Amino acid sequence: MKPFWKREPTKNQTDKPKEKSILKMITTVGEFYYSWNGKLYESDIVRACIRPKVKAIGKLVGKHIRDDPKGGLTVNPDANIRFLLSEPNPYMTGQQMQEKIANQLCLNNNAFILIVRDENGKAIQQYPIPCVSAEAKYNDTGELFLRFLYRNGKSGVFRYSDIIHLRQDYNDDDIFGESPAPALAGMMDVIGTIDQGIVKAIKNSGIVRWLLKFTQSLRDEDIKANVQKFVDNYLAVETDTFGAAGVDAKADVQRIEPKDYVPNAAQTDRTIERIYSFFNTNKKIVQSDYTEDEWTAYYESEIEPVVVQMHQTYTVGIFTRKERGFGNRIVFEANNLQCASLTTKLAFQAMVDRGAMTPNEWRETMNMAPVPGGDQPIRRLDTQVVNMVEEILGKMDKDNYIVMAGLITKLLDQMRGGEGDEEKNRHPRGDDTE
């Protein structure tokens, strides 16, 4: 199959989209999205700000969940959907594509994924769309299309129903997220000025530091010769003058102190803090110097909303309305316990003991390999015994109480490891002795 930028449009896509005013949520016609050509990703500060978010989204594991109407669920029941999530196209893995769309989302507040379908309409491949601009158009029936302009100058038109569209800062526009350019342009200009000032200050450190003023007129070659002689005799490292210089009456020596115009550190820090605030991060997150609570707060405020959006957009894009009605959905799971301390991870043994986590789920947090049978939850023996005792007591009446009491005694003996049998042997019942 050809890549999406080389594929011929489908029959429905060959219809020229027309601008048509229709009474829907889309209240405007001919809406545009433009990626900001502010070279945002070239800034080391911006790249450091978005990297934790991008990496966290890349580590999400996509799964196909099918809810059972009678209760319960099935994980990855369709192998084709599982491969679609883990191997979306021949050129990248699921983790790589998730990082790519996360970068586009952070830099442009929009990210597009094309769903390639087979002749039966089933999703078989996914491609991120690194477009320069996107335009909303409608065909004669009022169906929404997006016309993309790529960086190589080519364009493509696709149904909006075949696009997984992630967006943030979703405000004025009906379709696209707002561009970050108006909010970031001024700060990026300041950062660029600061960087230029630092470069100039470094270059300024290599300017002239000594001035020889000759009291008589000399030829150019004589001036150069006298200057070189002064440097060799008094400024060279291997000189024997021990830092002392002597000149005759024909020249005066003057030292020049260079002025390194280094940007104000406080102003620089304030600008960087503003960029941190724009991307809802901080120095600790950027430098991986956070505590469990700090990462949890960052995850819940910045990453989790994107995860929820991915749940819904992937589900709607991959499955039909009928398939969604039968309980098919896409979820992206993240193991936040990987960032927990060793003490916290060890404390989760209690959850394994009570069946809230499987042994293999806990072993994953410890970076340990799974074990056979570790995907089944563990039920505590004492909890099981209590449940069985409660069930027996519920069935007990005046006619069967002796039998039921015997069953309860056996269960309690099993829980105590057979101590009841030894006690019975030491203290036999009266009816047994007769």
DSSP state of 89: B
Helices (H), 205-341: 220-230, 265-278, 283-286, 292-298, 304-318, 321-325
What pTM was estimated for this model as a whole? 0.67
Asked if 133 and 144 touch (Cβ cutoff 8 Å), the reply is: no
pLDDT of residue 39: 72
pLDDT of residue 181: 83
Identify which of 117, 114, 124, 75 has the alpha carbon closest to the alpha carbon of residue 327: 75
pLDDT of residue 55: 94
Contacts of 207 (CB under 8 A, 6+ apart): 258
How far from the centroid of its chain's Cα atoms is residue 149's Cα?
26
pLDDT of residue 337: 58
Asked if 114 and 83 touch (Cβ cutoff 8 Å), the reply is: no
Q: What are the beta bridge partners of residue 73?
A: 67
Task: Give pLDDT tens digits along the chain (434 positions).
Answer: 555 444 544 444 444 444 444 334 444 444 665 665 557 788 888 899 999 999 999 999 999 999 887 777 888 999 999 999 999 999 999 999 999 999 999 999 999 999 999 999 999 999 999 888 899 998 888 899 999 998 888 999 999 999 999 999 998 888 999 888 888 888 777 777 777 766 666 666 555 566 666 666 777 777 778 777 777 766 665 655 555 555 665 666 666 565 555 666 777 788 889 889 999 999 999 999 988 889 889 998 999 999 999 999 999 999 999 999 999 999 998 765 556 666 776 777 777 777 778 887 777 777 677 788 788 777 665 556 666 767 777 777 777 778 777 777 777 776 665 544 444 444 444 444 44
Asked if 116 and 124 touch (Cβ cutoff 8 Å), the reply is: yes
DSSP state of 264: P
How far is residue 65's CA from residue 311's CA, in Å, rounded to a whole number? Answer: 11
Q: How many CA atoms lie within 13 A of 176 on its CB side?
A: 24
How far is residue 415's CA from residue 387's CA, in Å, rounded to a whole number? Answer: 13
- In Å, what is the CA distance from 393 to each residue of 83, 142, 416? 51, 67, 20
Q: Is 216 left (phi over 0), alpha (psi -120 to 50) or beta?
A: beta
pLDDT of residue 426: 46
Contacts of 338 (CB under 8 A, 6+ apart): 365
The dihedrals phi and psi of 110, each to the nearest 5 degrees, come to -145, 140
Q: Report the C-alpha dihedral over residues 20, 23, 25, 31, rounded to 10 degrees.
A: 20
pLDDT of residue 375: 80
